Structure 1
Amino acid sequence: MTALVAVAHGSRNPRSAATVHELLDVVRVLRPSLDVRASFLDLSAPRLGDVLRTVHAAGHRSAVVVPLLLGKAFHARVDVPGAVAEVAARLPSLDVAIADVLGPDPRLESAALRRLASAGVDAGGDWGVVLAGAGSSHAPANALVTDIARRWARGSGWAGVTAAFAATAAPDVPTAVARLRAGGARRIAVASWFLAPGLLPDRVARLAGPDAVVAPPLGPDPEVAELVLHRFDAAVGAALAVRSA
């Protein structure tokens, strides 16, 4: 059976790895027969290469690496393929495929909106909502978050919705909050475009100000878990099609 090796960025904050493990526990509940492993690119253990070697030692001959990343920024385009290539060179008998990143997908948006509702942000009214993401030097990754914010702005009934970024990209969170208040928002809420807690989500919460309502990251949401399995299944199907061609 093909193993599912999920890989997250990693963080010095232990809440981040704990949240990744909670998400994968939901994946295991949805598919108990699947061997699901957690791994990290940096700052947390175990690392991706070590987990792939462990999977091979356990008798698997194929694995799918599912990046727990919300967009195709540097980690998805460089770090994950590089780590997989390094292992493939040393373990040619392990067939490793890389699944697509989690975003974009409507299930992520649903999860973000549920987290916002759980924080007490209701539909309509005088809320100004900041959709906060990490930020990247890769413009398409930022555009994904901006597009979602624009879509929410058209259909939410809130006073306004705008994207903001914790690092690298503009606007930053204070600028986004100021724009929303200038547009008539009396209350500020922050929707999280982060999978797990960590340095950048904490920075977003701090910069939003003491009066802002900050939703938790997407975390172990059932639809996010379904999406992880969807990405895994698509990669398995693509690999089988290549083999049979």
Structure 2
Amino acid sequence: MTAAQTSAETPATPTLILVAHGARDPLWAAPLQRIAAAVCAQAPQQRVRTAFLGMLAPSLEECIAEAIDRGEQDFLIVPVFIAEGGHLKRDLPDRLVALRAQYPQACFTQERALGEAESVVQAMAAHALAQVQRAD
């Protein structure tokens, strides 16, 4: 799945944008693409896009511009980060302020870091424990 692929033609719910930090190595994006593909598999009607805050494409701004060009107006931004740090407290909100000014007809909602969701914490704990048990 490419960064701009969507899983439906007509948006019935907000477009889900999974946003991650980014890295110099393009292979770093593979887990984010796997999450997007899993969303598509679990909810084929859900539009899902991926974006990066730096170093990889598409940027959040490029992602939104393409989505707006396709008629999408309502966006749920889910940061794929372990915790709320500077990027989520300052950088992402600042970018959303600029996007709201550029696209006043659009609606942008920023969720908390994915890693702070209790279900994600429990899944990571279970995985860590499985590694210990496997090492025995």
Conservation of the 8 A alpha-carbon contact between 1:65 and 1:98: yes
Among 51, 55, 67, the alignment partner of 2:79 is 67
Conservation of the 8 A alpha-carbon contact between 2:115 and 2:121: no
Question: CA separation in 1, counterparts of 2:26 and 2:70?
Answer: 27
- 1:1-245 maps to which residues of 2 (within 5 A)? 1=12, 2-117=14-129, 119=131, 121-122=132-133
Structure 1 letter corresponding to 2:57: A
Query: Could you list the runs of 5+ residues in structure 2 that have no partner in the other structure?
Result: 1-11
Q: Give the secondary-structure state (helix, strand or coil) at the position aligned to 2:116.
A: coil
Offset of 1:118 from its aligned partner?
5.0
Q: Cα deviations across residues 86-109 of structure 1 (Å, max 9, x unaligned)? A: 111111111111112223233223
Alignment size in residue pairs: 124
- Bigger CA radius of gyration: 1
TM-score (norm 2): 0.81
- Determine what percentage of the aligned residue pairs are the same residue: 24
Q: Give the secondary-structure state (helix, strand or coil) at the position aligned to 1:38.
A: strand
Query: Could you list the runs of 5+ residues in structure 1 that have no partner in the other structure?
Result: 128-186, 188-245
Q: Cα deviations across residues 183-232 of structure 1 (Å, max 9, x unaligned)? A: xxxx9xxxxxxxxxxxxxxxxxxxxxxxxxxxxxxxxxxxxxxxxxxxxx
TM-score (norm 1): 0.47
Structure 2 letter corresponding to 1:122: Q
Match of 1:155 in 2: none
- Structure 1's consecutive aligned runs of 4 or more residues displaced over 6 angstroms after TM superposition are none
Conservation of the 8 A alpha-carbon contact between 1:67 and 1:99: yes
